Amino acid sequence: MSKDFYDKVAKKFGGYGYGTGPRYKSEYPTGNPEKIFKKKLLGLSSKDKIALDIGCADGKFTL
């Protein structure tokens, strides 16, 4: 999706973020969450496994 698409979403809904709730808190406050996730993911993977990412948001954190 293009930047123009997300600009339209932000304009229509007043922003693009987490809403009015509490700010995001890391589940890994003392470590790098991307490195921790990658380590866990690689620990579960093998050459015979396939991963499917079905999620929401803009895909910014998709590997």
CA 4 to chain centre: 20
DSSP 3-state of 63: coil
Q: How far apart are CA 49 and CA 3, in angstroms?
A: 33
Task: Return per-residue pLDDT of the chain as tens, 63 residues.
Answer: 788 887 787 778 776 555 566 555 667 777 788 888 888 888 888 888 887 777 666 766 665
pTM > 0.85: no
pLDDT of residue 8: 82
* Backbone phi and psi for residue 49, each to the nearest 5 degrees, phi listed first: -105, 150
What whole-number distance in Å separates Cα of residue 46 and Cα of residue 62?
19
Work out the number of other CB atoms within 10 angstroms of the CB of residue 3: 7
